[in-house]
Amino acid sequence: MSNVYVSDFVYALGSRKTHVTESEAAGRLLSSAEDLESAGFAWHHLCEPGESAYGLAEAVTAQLAESGRLTGIDAIVYATCLPLNGNIGDPGEFARTRDVKHLMDFPASRLQADFGLTDAVVLGLNQQACTAMPGSVRLAGALLAAEPSWRKVLCVTADRFPDGAIYEQAYNLISDGGAACLVGREPEGFRLVSAHQITNGALGQATDDETVGSYFSFTHRLFRESLDRAGLTVADVDWVVTQNTNDKAWQILARLLGVPLDRVWFPSMPDAGHIISADNIVNLAQLIASGQLRPGQRVVLMMAGFGLNWQSLILEAV
Amino acid sequence: MGILITGADGYLGRRAVSALLETTGDEFVLAVRAADAAELAAKRDRLDAELGAAGHGRVTVVGADLTRDDALADVDPRRVTAIVHAAAVTRFSVDRETAQRVNVDGTVRLARFARRCPDLRRFTLLSTLYTAGRHTGDVPERRHEDAGFVNFYEWSKWRAEQHLFDSGLPLSVLRLPTVIAEDDGGTVVQYNAFHNTLKLFYYGLLSLMPGEPSTPLALGTAAFTSAAVAHLVRPEVPAGIYHVTPDPAQTLTLGQLIDLTFDVYERDDNFRRRNLMRPIYCDRQSFDDMVDIARRLKGGPIEQAVASVAPFGTQLYLHKTFRNEALRAAWPGYAAPDPLALADAVCDHLVASRWGRQPVTRQLEGAL
Ligand SMILES: NC(=O)c1ccc[n+]([C@@H]2O[C@H](COP(=O)([O-])OP(=O)(O)OC[C@H]3O[C@@H](n4cnc5c(N)ncnc54)[C@H](OP(=O)(O)O)[C@@H]3O)[C@@H](O)[C@H]2O)c1
């Protein structure tokens, strides 16, 4: 029984909302808009040229500050999918000066300073791709277990694709976005029941088709192993909060795993597509907002990402 | 007097011709589809080269596109004593119109020609075990009722059978299994849905398996099927319906095949390094959904490969036990390949040759 709790789920999306057909016309996609729409995608959110990944991290942290929740933070786990979003320095400056400090301007340190979180230490997590958010919650839980005097960890994730990038990965329509939550000892939000991760480094450079190809078997395994580790069965699961991917994929997995499809939750998909590592938080926040969640219900969060990594969290509503 | 063989330059047609050249003293008229004189000449040269000395003076190659009414105008019916009909469109993904035009109407045309052959002793149709369509359970060597079909290939082969059953011709129907290799050595020359499915697993492009592990799979080799053809066309063998397939007890199940396949794959360093998982058996709806997803992955290898597997996937849910008592009675010395050893050898060959894209090294060839 862990006594770690996860709460305060907030998120921010790139400020330009655009339809998949517009992105097709702008050359931002590999698949046709029609194929992506048939997979359940419709809209996505892009950062404007001046908007940065750090700006998204700032926006989500500001939401926590405004609600008065950003107090007593002992650590910040700052996760990015793309390693380049883990530096806010200007690589051009490095090229000009040959000084590597321009490659080590860390957004986690900036966030600490900007929000006056002077008692917080910072940790960066940038090799777990889209699974970095569950990874950071897991890490936060482990930190609290290792540091008896710590009370609260801020988990932040923020990514934007570089200008000119294709906004499609492994046949998923991408949104720039950030998300945050708090991991602490006070019983609020959800109790962290367990966390699980599988990494298959040999598929680190998997093609899109290999990523899709291995998706079912590894996601299936992740789910089963997650339940086994927590001593639960599928009957103990009330909700599965997934990443935003081809909507047929979870129709298949729900059948294979014996989870009723109406308990598989990814409502943000048509509006936002795959929000890099923020999908779980966005969907979980929307589950809470829907009013359907009851105390004691168990939620399994599932993510797959490059590396290849698969991560899950099991949470129990307080 | 001679034997007319349609589809004589096809995969099994060529092998049947070679086998018959060895086992009979007959002359042969080899009918091949050819759009024009140049294609006919090219096909003739290829067949001459392949048949070598055995064919000299005994084979005549003629152009005969069975979709045309004048298809067999160049063949003298008085000289034909037996017909082996091997021509067909054999893709599981064939559309209905093409299947009708070639496999059904082509057979009707050939039957019309056959009726004009005064000395015809035997008309042998190379058919498929899957003319049973959606039938399940024991499948006897009998005429099948229409139980529905999972693709237009099997539907059209069934329609061709039906037409011939009603034709009054001295008919034998040889229902063949899925041919997966040249012979027991496991070398693959003709790639079909069987090999394409295994390829998807090797390359980590599919992790769902349509079908049920207990579904029996009737698999054969070209050597076995052409030996069967050579034996069963003999005039002394009674005409009839024959399931050219191993005994039911000697038939692999889908689960055994997949386990064995991964055992072979896991002997390969390249495969092992990628830590791929064995596939998950899925229900029909899930496989259909997967096919639907794959259709949208345009340009990628999944789309192409799944397209070849999809039209057959449904059969992997339909348990059939193909009876072969008639075959055993008509061919007492018959020896079907050992299914486990064959599947092992085939998987080995597929991995070593990377599905035909690289030569199998000598050392491996020895091992096969
Ligand atoms: N191989 C198997 O696993 C298997 C299993 C069960 C049953 N069978 C049956 O066995 C027979 C032979 O199969 P296979 O594997 O040898 O097939 P194949 O290699 O595809 O050969 C089919 C032959 O039919 C010819 N053909 C196609 N359309 C024609 C037309 N309109 N007119 C005349 N000829 C035409 C093809 O010529 P082009 O190549 O020039 O088109 C080719 O020579 C088929 O009837 C098939 O249904 C095969």
Helix (H, G, I), strand (E, B) or coil at A306: coil
| Residue B87 falls inside a structural domain | yes
User: Given B148, B176, B204, which residue is the final one in a domain?
Assistant: B176
CA of residue B232 to ligand 1 center, whole Å: 19
**Does residue B142 share a domain with residue B90?**
yes
Residues B248/A218, Cβ–Cβ less than 8 Å: no
Q: What is the pLDDT along chain B (368 residues), one digit of tens a residue?
A: 699 999 999 999 999 999 999 999 899 999 999 999 999 999 999 999 999 888 888 999 999 999 999 999 989 999 999 999 999 999 999 999 999 999 999 999 999 999 999 999 999 999 999 999 999 999 999 999 999 999 999 999 999 999 999 999 999 999 999 999 999 999 999 999 899 999 999 999 988 999 999 999 999 999 999 999 999 999 999 999 999 999 998 899 999 999 999 999 999 999 999 999 999 999 999 999 988 888 888 777 788 778 878 899 999 999 999 999 999 999 988 888 899 999 999 999 999 999 998 887 644 443 33
Based on the domain organization, do B159 and B78 belong to the same domain?
yes
- pLDDT of B295: 84
Query: Looking at the structure, do residues B167 and B198 belong to the same domain, yes or no?
Result: no
Q: Are residues B129 and B202 in the same domain?
A: no
B277 and B147, same structural domain?
no
User: Residue B276: its chain A contacts at CB < 8 A?
Assistant: 214, 217
Q: How far apart are CA B280 and CA B301, in angstroms?
A: 20
B108 and B13 co-located in one domain: yes
- Assess whether B26 and B97 both reside in one domain: yes
- Same domain for B145 and B60, yes or no, is yes
* End-of-domain residue from the set B114, B148, B176: B176
Residue B185 domain-assigned?
Answer: no
Tell me the CATH number at B47. 3.40.50.720
pLDDT given at position B305 = 74
Which residues of chain A have a CB within 8 Å of the CB of B208? 216-217, 252
Instruction: For each of the domains in chain A, give its residue range(s) and CATH number, in order of start.
Output: 5-184 (3.40.47.10), 190-317 (3.40.47.10)
Provide the ipTM: 0.86
Pairwise CA distance, residues B288 & B270, whole Å: 30
pLDDT for position B368: 35
Give how many domains chain B has, as a whole number: 2
Instruction: Please give the structure tokens belonging to residue A153.
Output: 């960890």
What is the tally of helices (H) and strands (E) in chain A?
10, 14
Instruction: Give me the domain span that covers residue B146.
Output: 2-176
Neighbours of A40 (CB within 10 A): 18
- Establish if B324 belongs to a structural domain: no
Q: Are residue B105 and residue B170 in the same domain, yes or no?
A: yes
Q: Which of B203, B273, B282 sits opposite A256 (nearest CB)?
A: B282
Same domain, B77 and B31: yes
Residue B170 sits in the same domain as residue B257 = no
The pLDDT tens digits along chain A (318 residues) read 579 999 999 999 999 999 999 999 999 999 999 999 999 999 999 999 999 999 999 999 999 999 999 999 999 999 999 999 999 999 899 999 999 999 999 999 999 999 999 999 999 999 999 999 999 999 999 999 999 999 999 999 999 999 999 999 989 999 999 999 999 999 999 999 999 999 999 999 898 888 888 999 999 999 999 999 999 999 999 999 999 999 999 999 999 999 999 999 999 999 999 999 999 999 999 999 999 999 999 999 999 999 999 999 999 999
Residue type, A295: P
Size of interface A-B (CB pairs under 8 A): 83
Q: Please report whether residue B327 resides in a domain.
A: no
Q: What residue owns the CA closest to ligand 1's atom 11? A: B86
Yes or no: say if B342 and B221 are a contact pair by the CB < 8 Å rule.
yes
Q: Is B237 domain-assigned? A: no
The tokens for A300 are 């399994």
A205 in contact with B at a CB cutoff of 8 Å?
A: no
B120 shares a domain with B23: yes
- Is B163 inside any structural domain? yes
The predicted pLDDT at position B1 comes to 62
B243, part of any domain: no
